[in-house]
């Protein structure tokens, strides 16, 4: 038996189609209304970093920057007419957890990622994104390896540790900050990387490092290390690592009578460092990028953060810029598809709160060099 009541093109087929159309029109239903239309989908951006743990203050900076950037984008119509939704995930600056976050983002249909914070998280996670065809822009991860692996999907709006190490070493020498130098690091990808870079740069400028020492992240008692520094008559310590251990080391060195200068990297760009170190934080120096809060045209944006009770220090505006770079590239490419988005990022010049950004073939920005900052009375400012 035939499964159809009429054959296509037959008289009965024509009659059935006319009858069907007539009944639809009688009930006020147009044929066009039965044709499925493409639903407007949200653009899903991932934001990954240490929501929990001792580096959570940096993630708060990133979260604030991303939240306001997304709000501003949606107020202006979103990305290519679609609303932007931010999906936040906690990697705790742990490489294994970062890979789990990356896989979850891929499974959840995230279309591009801002993050991660720690270089030790960004490196393994970015390989997952590359395999899935997702673009990642980090506002904070500075280890050179990140953009030296030939990944076309990896970008950053911040500088690199080899740049920071060069600036730190030159400033130490040109400002005559110390002659008997120790370099201490926290064994992290970021901390040890910048410490090794500073040691190399100092050697090239004729400065010998009398002690190169690794500590353990989470360590709280540095009395034995301070004793060794005193015995060596160290007058300058470069610290590669983050604010928690740095603050404890600086405070304990002061309490134990070690008279030395401290210089560090951008892991000190949070007021939590001064809270931990106390008055001993005064005079501590660190390398960081030019402060976008003082850029022409950012005054209104900075005031919006402050009106909400948040000081947009550290990586706040760098994250704001990372979101906007992704959005502008997606508008230029007219898609969030990874390969076209990456091509647009490589091809364009993007106007941001950090200034104009153009990426090289590796995904590094044409950013200004690092500058040296100093802490005083709980705040930091560039050294003159």
The confidence score (pLDDT) of residue 154 equals 99
The CATH architecture to which 43-159+293-358 belongs is: 3-Layer(aba) Sandwich (3.40)
- DSSP string for 154-200: EEESS--HHHHHHHHHHHHHHTT--SSEEEEE-SSHHHHHHHHHHHH
**What is the domain partition of the chain in residue ranges?**
1-31, 43-159+293-358, 162-288
pLDDT digits (tens, 9 = 90+) for 128-169: 999 999 999 999 999 999 999 999 999 999 999 999 999 999
Q: Tell me the C-alpha distance between 193 and 336, whole Å.
A: 33
Q: Degrees (nearest 5) of the Cα angle 187, 190, 195?
A: 70
> Would 43-159+293-358 and 162-288 be classified into the same CATH topology?
yes
| 3 state SS of 44 | strand
Question: Could you give the CA distance from residue 308 to residue 305 in angstroms, rounded to a whole number?
Answer: 5
> Which pLDDT score is estimated for 384?
86
Instruction: Give residue 40's pLDDT.
Output: 52
SS3 109: coil
Residues of the chain whose pLDDT is less than 50? 1-39
Residues 320, 305: Cα–Cα separation, whole Å: 11
Domain over 162-288 is classified CATH 3.60.40.10 = no
- Other CB atoms within 10 Å distance of the CB of residue 6: 14
Beta carbons within 10 angstroms of residue 149's beta carbon: 13
Rounded to whole angstroms, the Cα distance separating 202 from 7 reads 87
Answer whether 136's CB lies under 8 Å from 117's CB: no
Give pLDDT, residue 194: 97
């Amino acid at each position: 038996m035939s499964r159809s009541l009429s054959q296509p093109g037959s008289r009965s087929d024509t009659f059935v189609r006319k009858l069907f159309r007539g009944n639809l029109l009688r009930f006020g239903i147009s044929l066009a209304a039965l044709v499925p239309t493409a639903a407007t989908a949200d653009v899903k951006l991932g934001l990954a970093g240490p929501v929990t743990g001792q580096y959570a203050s940096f993630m708060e900076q990133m979260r604030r920057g991303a939240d306001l950037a997304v709000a501003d984008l949606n107020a202006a119509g979103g990305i290519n007419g679609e609303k932007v939704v931010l999906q936040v995930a906690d990697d705790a600056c742990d490489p294994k957890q970062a890979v789990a976050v990356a896989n979850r983002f891929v499974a959840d249909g995230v279309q591009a990622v801002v993050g991660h914070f720690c270089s030790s998280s960004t490196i393994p996670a970015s390989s997952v994104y590359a395999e899935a065809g997702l673009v990642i822009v980090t506002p904070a991860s500075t280890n050179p390896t990140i953009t030296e692996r030939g990944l076309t999907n990896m970008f950053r709006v911040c500088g690199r540790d080899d740049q920071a190490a060069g600036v730190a070493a030159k400033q130490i020498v040109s400002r005559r900050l110390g002659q008997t130098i120790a370099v201490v690091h926290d064994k992290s990808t970021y901390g040890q990387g910048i410490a090794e870079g500073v040691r190399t740069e100092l050697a090239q400028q004729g400065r010998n490092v009398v002690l190169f020492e690794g500590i353990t992240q989470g360590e709280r008692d540095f009395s034995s290390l301070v004793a060794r520094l005193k015995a060596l008559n160290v007058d300058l310590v470069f610290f590669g690592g983050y604010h928690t251990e740095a603050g404890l080391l600086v405070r304990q060195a002061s309490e134990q009578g070690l008279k030395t200068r401290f210089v560090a990297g951008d892991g000190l760009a949070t007021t939590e460092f001064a809270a931990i170190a106390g008055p001993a934080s005064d005079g501590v120096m660190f390398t960081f990028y030019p402060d976008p809060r003082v850029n022409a045209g950012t005054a209104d944006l900075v005031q919006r953060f402050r009106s909400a009770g948040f000081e947009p220090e550290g990586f706040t505006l760098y994250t704001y810029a990372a979101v906007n770079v992704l959005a502008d590239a997606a508008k230029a490419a007219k898609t969030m598809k990874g390969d076209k988005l990456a091509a647009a990022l490589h091809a364009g010049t993007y106007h941001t709160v950090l200034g104009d950004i153009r990426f090289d073939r590796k995904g590094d920005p044409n950013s200004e060099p690092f500058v040296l900052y100093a802490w005083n009375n709980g705040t930091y400012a560039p050294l003159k």
